[in-house]
Structure 1
Amino acid sequence: MEEAKVKLRDMQNELPVKDNGFYLSLILGSNLNVSLLTKNERYRYKQEYEQFKYKVTFFIIITAIVSYFLPYRAVDSILNFLLVWYYCTLTIRESILQLNGSKIKGWWVLHHYISCALAGIVLTWKNDECYKSFRHQFIGFVIYLGVVQLAQRQYQLGTLRRLHALGQGHQMDITVEGFTSWQFKGLTFLLPFLLSGYVFQLYNAYVLYYLSFDCKGQWQVY
């Protein structure tokens, strides 16, 4: 009975969906059908999503490096606008993937909503001494995060391939699904970089907390 329920759920996920949901209807309109009809079309769209993440993340790293060594607000604004556009686009693509049977976790999509909002907040930050005291640290964090994301993607891609080979992965699973599987081979290499990223985030919060006492009236700091 459990196996039958899983098979029925998978079959249901592969059927075309008429309702785009609130978010996609708000952006694309309710009369535009984004359901992909065949498995091949869905798989190709999923592959495009993965390639989009890889290419744009690489471009973000290059832009952040340029911004780090060129202390001009215009260059910083290009980087922050790129981050806003990237995370906005991810939320749209992931909503389409969910509509077509991909099992993307809600926390993953929520993380991209929050990232989009935070990038927009940094984009509107006034170019004063308070911003300048934090910019190098923030841009350094963007570079580090991008590098870790590329390394993590390679690990997850390999894990997802192994799951597919064993018949334990769904065709519409994205690379992040490989991270939550039982196959942790190679993860020990990534763990120090992931933990360092969390420490870096904590340090950002620490610095912003103390900046909040010096930067009165700047809501971006909070």
Structure 2
Amino acid sequence: MAQRVDAATMSLERCQSEWSEIDREYQQLQETHKVYRQKLDELTNLQALCSTAICKQRKGLKELRHTLHKCAKTCDETDSAVINDLQAQIKEKQNVFFDMEAYLPKKNGLYLNLVLGNVNVTLLSNQAKFAYKDEYEKFKLYMTIILMLGAITCLFLLNYRVTDEIFNFLLVWYYCTLTIRESILMSNGSRIKGWWVSHHYVSTFLSGVMLTWPEGPIYQLFRSQFLAFSIYQSFVQFLQYYYQSGCLYRLRALGERNQLDLTVEGFQSWMWRGLTFLLPFLFFGHFWQLYNSVTLFRLAARDDCKEWQVFMLALTFLVLFLGNFLTTLKVVHQKVQKNQTNEEEEHKSE
């Protein structure tokens, strides 16, 4: 009996000791959380100060640029050189402001507001930004492989409307997700711009129209061509991912590219070195989009064609062809001109 009492007493003392340790750690936690709240308030105030200062700077630079533009019309050569130097410095400062804002909370654009609401999507640390970018790249790679396998399955193994609908729904979901993720990346400093931003919105619309196209003889006439195009498109995107990611890694290591630059479904100027072999694959894919458009226009002109989706898909494929082809052609033209200019300067220096 005495031994039981002693054991109970020792157990109680151990519990009291553990409670004391837990209570001491709890007090420390409260103090740490208090400091955290203070630092968080300080951070919020600093963010507001920086955002206000950037807006003020931008307004002042805009007025200065407008004044310089007026002065440039009446100045001599000496003053013109000073004006050009000031304009170059203004442009450089604007690029710095863009990098600063990547670490400051900002209002979402219209698209993100519609999808997510007024939620702050700014990632404040470099580690979080890079992790999100890498996860985005892996998502594109995995989905490209899945879509390729899905198109192969629908074309060669399962000729059912249900499987086609699943594949088309997967395309809609994939492109919708890409547009959201890219918008978040742009809010965090990724320099995605131009046609390659609009490209995924157009692709989302095209996939949505394809999803609503009802079963029928006209659909069956275009089905195999669309699935074959989807297989080829996934194959090219798979090639682009590996070669663009390798090129970007090298350029980032040399400090020539932003850490948040992404692989895209097109040709960029930084891809020129070692990646020009992709151009034939890209141009072939662009003209296949044109071929899809022509095929659909012909189908829409048939007397037995009653579906509005046929004409709409023809227009959408035409828009994709024009956007992809003209943008790629523009980049190639600019790069060739730049190379020619550099060669001329080298000859002059010799």
Compute the TM-score of the two structures, normalised by the length of structure 2: 0.60
Q: Could you say what secondary structure the match of 2:243 adopts?
A: helix
Per the alignment, residue 35 of structure 2 pairs with none
1:178 Cα deviation (Å)? 9.7
Structure 2 residue runs of 5 or longer lacking an equivalent are: 1-88, 312-350
1:4 Cα deviation (Å)? 5.3
Q: In the alignment, residue 33 of structure 1 is paired with which amino acid?
A: N
Contact kept in structure 2, 1:156 and 1:179, CA below 8 Å:
no
Contact kept in structure 2, 1:87 and 1:116, CA below 8 Å:
yes
Per the alignment, residue 24 of structure 1 pairs with 112
Q: In the alignment, residue 66 of structure 1 is paired with which amino acid?
A: T
Per the alignment, residue 79 of structure 2 pairs with none
Q: Could you say what secondary structure the match of 2:198 adopts?
A: helix
* Structure 1 CA distance for aligned equivalents of residues 305 and 241 of structure 2: 40
Structure 1 pair 150/131, CA: closer, same or farther in 2 (3 Å)? same
1:20 Cα deviation (Å)? 1.5
Q: In the alignment, residue 260 of structure 2 is paired with which amino acid?
A: M
* Structure 2 CA distance for aligned equivalents of residues 194 and 168 of structure 1: 25
Report matched runs for 1:5-154 at 5 Å.
5=93, 8-30=96-118, 32-69=119-156, 70-154=158-242
1:2 Cα deviation (Å)? 6.1
Contact kept in structure 2, 1:125 and 1:220, CA below 8 Å:
yes
The structure 2 residue matched to 1:188, chosen from 248, 271, 276, is: 276
Q: Could you say what secondary structure the match of 1:220 adopts?
A: helix
1:143-168 Cα distance to aligned partner (Å, 9 max, x none) = 00000011011121111112112111
1:186 Cα deviation (Å)? 2.7
Contact kept in structure 2, 1:104 and 1:173, CA below 8 Å:
yes
Stretch deviating more after TM superposition (182-191 or 163-172): 182-191
1:199 Cα deviation (Å)? 2.1
Determine which structure has the larger helix proportion and give its number: 2
Q: In the alignment, residue 63 of structure 1 is paired with which amino acid?
A: G
* Structure 1 CA distance for aligned equivalents of residues 117 and 98 of structure 2: 27
Stretch deviating more after TM superposition (178-187 or 12-21): 178-187
Contact kept in structure 2, 1:159 and 1:178, CA below 8 Å:
no
Q: In the alignment, residue 256 of structure 2 is paired with which amino acid?
A: Q
* Structure 2 CA distance for aligned equivalents of residues 144 and 200 of structure 1: 10
1:142-197 Cα distance to aligned partner (Å, 9 max, x none) = 00000001101112111111211211111111123994234523323212211211
Contact kept in structure 2, 1:157 and 1:178, CA below 8 Å:
no
Structure 1 pair 178/26, CA: closer, same or farther in 2 (3 Å)? closer
The structure 1 residue matched to 2:293, chosen from 180, 192, 205, is: 205
Stretch deviating more after TM superposition (136-145 or 11-20): 11-20
Q: Could you say what secondary structure the match of 1:185 adopts?
A: helix
* Structure 2 CA distance for aligned equivalents of residues 198 and 106 of structure 1: 17
Stretch deviating more after TM superposition (121-130 or 168-177): 168-177
Q: In the alignment, residue 161 of structure 1 is paired with which amino acid?
A: Y
The structure 2 residue matched to 1:216, chosen from 277, 280, 305, is: 305
Contact kept in structure 1, 2:218 and 2:305, CA below 8 Å:
no
Q: In the alignment, residue 176 of structure 2 is paired with which amino acid?
A: C
Contact kept in structure 2, 1:20 and 1:33, CA below 8 Å:
yes
Stretch deviating more after TM superposition (194-203 or 140-149): 194-203
Identity of matched residues, %: 51
Higher-Rg member (1/2):
2
Alignment root-mean-square deviation, CA: 1.9
1:39-93 Cα distance to aligned partner (Å, 9 max, x none) = 1101110111111000001100001111112110000001100000000000000
